[in-house]
Amino acid sequence: MEFVSVNRIIAAVGRNLGMSDVNMYADSIIEWSFEAEKFIGGLNSFLKQEDDLTISGYRASLPSNIVKVLTVAKGQVILKPTHSYLRGNATGSDADTDNMADSSRYYIQDGYINVRCEDGVVITISSLIVPTDTDGYPKINETHVEAVTAYCMWMLKNIDYYNGKAPQYIINDLQKRWIFLCGQARGVDGMPSSAELTEAASYWNTLIPIKSKNGLKNL
């Protein structure tokens, strides 16, 4: 699984739409690229990563490029999410710990994970992150480049449509292409690899047929 810089998306959008200065929309294209990856929602839209975080004041700062926390563990104990912050807790204060059910629970607020642990305790989080290049720009799964480019083209042309500079049929065509490529990218992500297919075949070949009462063989 290879990831490429979002600059490739920016260049593709500019080339496809014949724009002389696409960089004036660079920030918007970066945001749209992230949106497109979330809409694709495939197994390979983002990277899985594990980080060890040290608790201080009942909380720890989360990585800046995090998309979603998958699992939180303290040693061999898996912590459970809670929604205590909905009751008006002040992040990082002692009041948080009074409202937390116990040390096996956590909640996330304002870029921090809050957990009832003493200072210095290390927790491990498994999460989905946005990979970034050396300049700090997000990277896009190479197999999603065509779909993400289509989404950005559609969004960019929507601006012209809202300003009366592009006919609706063009917007509809761009939308249909994005929807098709989005589904295609999601489908490719869901396909098992050759190694996974080989493993599944090996399991299938080990199954032993069992005769039913009427003499038919079933697996």
pLDDT, tens digit only, all 219 positions of the chain: 799 999 999 999 999 999 999 999 999 999 999 999 999 987 788 999 999 999 999 999 998 889 889 999 998 889 988 865 434 444 444 444 444 456 788 988 889 999 988 899 999 999 999 998 888 888 999 999 999 999 999 999 999 999 999 999 999 999 999 999 999 999 888 755 566 556 666 666 676 666 666 666 555
pLDDT of residue 210: 64
pLDDT of residue 1: 76
Give the count of beta carbons closer than 10 Å to the beta carbon of residue 44.
Answer: 20
Q: How far is CA 69 from CA 23, 100, 117, 188, in A?
A: 33, 19, 18, 24
pLDDT of residue 140: 94
- Taking the C-alpha atoms of residue 211 and residue 209, their distance in angstroms, rounded to an integer, is 7
Q: pTM of this prediction? A: 0.72
pLDDT of residue 36: 95
Residue 153, C-beta contacts closer than 8 angstroms, at least 6 positions apart: 13, 16, 17, 174, 178
pLDDT of residue 104: 81
pLDDT of residue 64: 87
